Amino acid sequence: MTACGSASPDAPRQLGRPRDPKLDAAILDATLRLLADGGYTALTIEAVAALAGVGKATLYRRFPGKEQLVIEAVATLGEPPERVRGAGVRDELVALLESIRRKNDSSLASKIFPRLLSAGAENPELMRRYREQVLDPRRARFIAVLYRGVEQGLLRADVDLAYAVDLLVGPMVYRHLIRKEPRPGPELAARIVDDVLYALAPRRSCHSSEQT
Amino acid sequence: MTACGSASPDAPRQLGRPRDPKLDAAILDATLRLLADGGYTALTIEAVAALAGVGKATLYRRFPGKEQLVIEAVATLGEPPERVRGAGVRDELVALLESIRRKNDSSLASKIFPRLLSAGAENPELMRRYREQVLDPRRARFIAVLYRGVEQGLLRADVDLAYAVDLLVGPMVYRHLIRKEPRPGPELAARIVDDVLYALAPRRSCHSSEQT
DNA sequence: GACTAACAATACGGTTGCGTCTCGGAAGAT
DNA sequence: ATCTTCCGAGACGCAACCGTATTGTTAGTC
């Protein structure tokens, strides 16, 4: 996860002035900032250098070009998710969904998200890294909680958990990404979770007919 | 819906060679094509002119600049949706959802979609037109069918239909836009519709507890 | 047949960003 | 103290694209 051209342990740099690690951070941060409000193609190396307060040579010393720069920057977006343990399955799912909503209401990451969706078409590697670092870990958390839901008999044993995640996350992301008005409120997460859990719960045989 | 600089009926052009309407179509088509595989910022006027087989002057005679050009092009994406009438509410919803899946599996429009999501951040007008021409009509169809569902007692009378559309469309769009692997199959639409309809159906009071 | 505007092609100057390079200076290692 | 590399700043030539203007041709009107 260090910058591209960083010294490998096998060939430790000994001579001369060492690279300033703070500059790596400044460059990646500037990259994310510019990526957020301009998109991939609008992002220029010169703007990154200027915003980071860094010479272009310093930047090119670390990254071979825009593509690798953005890939490395995006890879830093992964974050340890907030802990909500202790609560029940239902409340934990609500908390996870709600954290998506809150994040999309303000953060840098939310602005970068649609940019990557577009840039990912030409840059599979870029999308892959983002998926691995950001999307997959979040997804794994959902799956884990849902699995506990199965164990506790809250969900049918035969439900496809990946599908269940789609049912939960899909509407929330859709609201933020596409149908932005009116802004979803904090009650949306609970609503989605309750409806989805109800749909996937073990069904008592008291309803007269099978599915239509 | 005609090109920007087209003659208005009030001031009919009489003198000189008339504009070739085929060129309007060629320009807009080329715009969409390039927008699909390059994105908004990557789209250049010169490339549009070249692909359309048109001189730059011809293009500038119709559109003042890139922004208006793209806006007009996107506005042509609206389409009369396939008719599935006659079937029941459930099957009609499945058909609507399935048409989203099919469209996203191949068409130009599906490639343009994420581009607009990104470009829309800087171009509210662009996003607005796309919403009006493409998204809103589709949404209206969902709402209409769902309303019939309410009338027929398939859905609770108090469900927020807009929310119901999110529950249906969200997971499908999410699958295509973000979680692309594995490619959703034709069975997904029915699965989503059945689960959502079940969750929003009038609930008989045979389950022991209220919502947790 | 004269007139006029649309047409394709292309030249034009201006702007922007690329990736490389050079400069003087600064920071550690020896 | 010396050596080596990193640092910020920015000049450099190159390429792409902008929006405009010119040129010769073409299509329709009068």
pLDDT digits (tens, 9 = 90+) for A78-136: 877 777 777 899 999 999 999 999 998 888 988 999 999 999 988 999 999 999 999 99
Task: Report which of residues B110 and A54 the model is more confident about.
Answer: A54
What pLDDT does B205 receive? 64
What pLDDT does A105 receive? 86
pLDDT digits (tens, 9 = 90+) for A130-170: 999 999 999 999 999 999 999 999 999 999 999 999 999 99
Q: Would you give the end-to-end CA distance of chain B in angstroms? A: 52
| 3-state percent helix, strand, coil for chain A, nearest multiple of 5 | 60, 0, 40
Q: Chain A contacts of B206, Cβ < 8 Å? A: 204, 206-207
* Residue A163 forms contact with B (CB below 8 Å): yes
Spell out the alpha helix ranges (H) of B37-65: 45-52, 56-62
DSSP string, A5-27: TPPPTTS---SSPPP-HHHHHHH
Average pLDDT of the residues in B162-186: 95
pLDDT band of residue A59 (cuts 50, 70, 90) is very high
Q: Does the predicted TM-score (pTM) go above 0.85?
A: yes
Whose CB is within 7 A of strand C?
A: A 14-18, 43-47, 55-57, 60, 65-66; B 13, 15-20, 23, 49, 53-58, 61-62
| Closest protein residue to D27 (Cα–C1') | B17
What pLDDT does A113 receive? 94
Q: CA-to-CA distance for A124 and B14, rounded, in angstroms?
A: 53
Phi, psi dihedral angles at A43 (to 5 degrees): -75, 125
pLDDT digits (tens, 9 = 90+) for B12-43: 557 889 999 999 999 999 999 999 989 999 99
What pLDDT does A36 receive? 94
pLDDT at B177 over 70: yes
What pLDDT does B9 receive? 44
- Cβ-nearest to B114 among A38, A121, A206: A121
What pLDDT does A206 receive? 55
Q: Which nucleotides of D are covered by protein (CB under 7 A)?
A: 3-11, 16-23, 26-30
